[in-house]
Chains A and B, each alone.
Chain A
């Protein structure tokens, strides 16, 4: 079942290759058809390490104005390979890719003039061209060698690399895994003002196309893009309602939640690589930017438990802290002039 659904995008592209027809001029994207706020990159930080710190100090409202790609790259702050990444150049690549998608879409329309007009203006067409261009440019998405797609988890964390989990390929030409390809999809799509956002489905991140009429979950896989409705996803990857709530599944992320999701992955990576203090920081930040996602607060608690155990600190919080700390106080006076 999966393979038939998976490859419909590829079939869509092929059908364009065979299509005949008459051309009509199309301005991309159709004006007013899809609503998606244009997210401007934060102009301040130019280095990844600086961007990580700067974004940690922002409020969720401020994060909502930062583009997806920048959030993805910022999570590489502190990694040796990423120290000299110039965000300005990296963001320029996103814009360049968006231009390629735009021109490819236009030329495909002119090439396939007899194609059904309805299909040519359809979201399926946009997604197909976007996916095709990205796959041509960055090669098909792949799973990291240590990843078991059926189990939905890594089999050997010790061998994982940043590019297996995080958004890295923009600067060093490393091939990203399917985890970061979905970020490419959303980042370039948002640059084109497509109604694309990130969301979590069981086991991983995916893109969501929601134009008000259609709501599809797009999941890059090793074979191509899998596109499913929420109902189809729920049938194919059944999870309990508790898990959906705990992991905030099938919910279109705000940019603040996107940042939190990336931080969660950074925390997982740091944890597995033996940097518990950085894992705790990443989990605490994920919790701060998405405080209503139980998974993030549970991860933070677990990281703190591990750290206190390894430091021989006892979690007798009631005994070791002063009672004043636990007593609520009236709201503070506002000093703002």
Chain B
């Protein structure tokens, strides 16, 4: 029996080897080896432990799920008045969101009685209610001084910590962030969107059927179309539009990088140039192709060199900015044809 087995092995092994070689040769020649997919599981971090340093250590994917309030508040570290208790602030925002929710329910009849006042959109009604409640009940308002001077030394007006402080002041740089933070707590599909020298919110449902922009920084709430933001507050040229930076919903990493850039702007205005350059470089390292982050870094480096050489001194007659005139942005139009906007958005 054992002898038969040996004979069979002696016969078939060479055949098997030959076949094996042929098969192997075939597979090597004709079947490409698929690339190995390496999946590294990434845990969602405990958000109450996050600060600027820990956010900087997160991957791009991990940044996607982080509360926009955490991303923004972390960027005010070491700024004057900016070292806030992030977990406590997030709890405060939870309370504000609860209040907005109850007020929206209580006033829902405003929509059912006159839906035409809200462009026949319940989503728009919810967004308007959120902005109105935050302004009227929480005292959130635009600091008009910044509209005049654009002074970034007042970091509290450009990052969110001014809105949750006793000042309750902000600008278009911080108020839309608060709206998204509250809106997300309420389950609203709100996104942050940037245009030239301005930031606003966009409501966009997952199925894409409901989509409008939310301008809630002024005295009234508006829903301007995208075309409006192509020319206001500054006209976007073709190059800017093609860059892919503007007029689209920001991802988590874009939001964080943008807040880092604002942090850099504040530090730069405060004269803390190396810190400003680091903030710009952090933003640039997150999104290398974003031209604003890189150009801000480049300008920061140049400015520090000019400061060191004394060119920027107000006593230096060679200062190229000595007699510069401030550039002020035009106010947005006070009235907008809501029906036309709604039709335009609906047609998309």
Binary contact readout B262-285 vs A (1 if CB under 8 angstroms, 0 otherwise): 000000111100110110111011
In the bound complex, how far is the Cα of B284 from the Cα of A307, in angstroms?
10
- Which residues of chain A have C-beta atoms less than 8 A from B306's C-beta? 326
User: Are A327 and B153 in contact, with the CB atoms below 8 A?
Assistant: no
B121 at the interface (CB under 8 A from A): no
Return B146 CB to nearest CB of chain A, in Å: 12
A281 pairs with B285, CB closer than 8 A: yes
21 A-B residue pairs with CB within 8 Å: A50-B53, A54-B53, A57-B56, A278-B285, A280-B281, A281-B282, A285-B278, A285-B281, A287-B277, A288-B275, A304-B301, A307-B294, A308-B295, A315-B298, A320-B299, A323-B326, A323-B327, A326-B312, A330-B153, A332-B155, A335-B156
Q: Is the CB of A336 within 8 A of B53?
A: no
Give the distance in Å from the alpha carbon of A23 to the alpha carbon of B53 in the complex: 52
| Distance A335 CA – B154 CA, assembled complex (angstroms) | 10
- Contact digits for A244-258, partner B, Cβ 8 Å, 1 yes 0 no: 000000000000000
| Chain A residue contacts of B335, Cβ below 8 A | none
B288: interface (CB < 8 Å): yes
Q: Assess whether B56 is in contact with A328, with CB atoms less than 8 Å apart.
A: no
A56 touches B282 (CB 8 A): yes
Least CB separation from A332: chain B residue = B153
Within 8 Å CB of A324, what residues of B?
149-150, 324, 326-327
Which residue of A54, A55, A301, A311 contacts B294 across the interface (Cβ within 8 Å)? A311
The 4 residue pairs across chains A and B that have the minimum distance between CB atoms:
A335-B81, A53-B57, A323-B324, A53-B56
> A294-337 toward B: CB 8 Å interface, digit per residue (1/0)?
00010011001001100101010110111111111111111110
Contacts of A284 in B (CB 8 A): 274, 277-278, 280-282, 297
A261 shortest CB reach to chain B, Å: 15
Q: B165 an interface residue at 8 Å Cβ cutoff?
A: yes
A153 at the B interface (CB under 8 A): no
When A281-B285, A329-B153, A335-B165 are in contact, do A317 and B298 touch as well, CB less than 8 Å? yes
Instruction: For the complex, give the distance between the alpha carbons of A277 and B174 in Å.
Output: 27
Q: Which residue of B lies closest to A50 (CB)?
A: B57
> Which of A49, A283, A313, A327 has the most chain B CB atoms inside 10 A of its CB?
A327
* Contact residues in B for A281 (Cβ distance below 8 Å): 278, 281-282, 284-285
Interface centre among A52, A56, A332 (most CB of B within 10 A): A332
A277–B281 CA distance with the chains assembled, in angstroms: 8
Chain A residues closer than 8 Å to B77, beta-carbon distance: 57
Asked if B284 contacts A308 (CB within 8 A), the reply is: no
Complex: A45 Cα to B51 Cα, angstroms: 12
Bound form: Cα–Cα A58–B57 in Å: 13
- Residue B291 at the A interface, CB < 8 A? yes
Q: Give Cα distance in the complex from A99 to B297, angstroms.
A: 46
| A/B pair count, beta carbons within 8 Å | 149
Specify which chain B residues have a CB less than 8 angstroms from the CB of A301 in the assembled complex: 301, 305
When chains A and B are docked, how far (Å) is the Cα of A38 from the Cα of B227? Answer: 62
Chain A interface extent, by class: 35 or more
Taking CB atoms, residues of chain B closer than 8 Å to A278 are 285
A49 to B326, CA, bound (A): 44
Query: Given the complex of chains A and B, what is the CA–CA distance between A320 and B298 in angstroms?
Result: 11
Task: Tell me the nearest residue of chain A to B323, going by C-beta.
Answer: A323
- Complex alpha-carbon distance, A181 and B299, angstroms: 39
Q: When chains A and B are docked, how far (Å) is the Cα of A176 from the Cα of B268?
A: 40
Shortest beta-carbon distance, A321 to chain B, in Å?
Answer: 5
Flag whether B302 is at the interface (Cβ < 8 A).
yes
Over the window 49-91 of chain B, the binary record of Cβ atoms lying under 8 Å from chain A Cβ atoms (1 yes, 0 no) is 0011111111000000000000000000110111000000000
A329 proximity list for chain B (CB < 8 A): 151, 153, 269
Q: Does A77 make an interface contact (CB < 8 A)?
A: yes
Q: How far is the CA of A278 from the CA of B287 in the complex (A)?
A: 11
Of A77, A283, A284, A324, which is in contact with the most chain B CB atoms at under 10 Å from its CB? A284
Chain A, range 26-59, C-beta contacts under 8 Å to B: 45, 47, 49-59
Specify which chain A residues have a CB less than 8 angstroms from the CB of B304 in the assembled complex.
297
Contact B57 A49 (CB under 8 A): yes
Contact A336 B81 (CB under 8 A): yes
Known A-B contacts: A50-B53, A327-B312, A330-B153. Give 5 more (CB < 8 A): A56-B282, A277-B284, A323-B321, A323-B327, A335-B82
Docked CA distance A52–B271 (Å): 25
In the assembled complex, A21 has its CB within 8 A of some CB on chain B: no
Is B303 an interface residue when CB atoms closer than 8 A count as contact? yes
Q: Is the CB of B324 within 8 A of A327?
A: yes
Centre residue among B155, B281, B294 by max chain A CB count within 10 A: B281
Q: Known contacts A55-B53, A334-B80: does B321 contact A326 (CB below 8 Å)?
A: yes
Q: Are A325 and B299 in contact (CB under 8 A)?
A: yes
**Chain B residues, CB < 8 A from A54:** 53-54, 56-57
C-alpha spacing A24/B314, complex, angstroms = 69
Whether, in the assembled complex, B14 has its beta carbon less than 8 Å from a beta carbon of chain A, the answer is no
Cβ of A291 within 8 Å of any chain B Cβ, yes or no, is yes
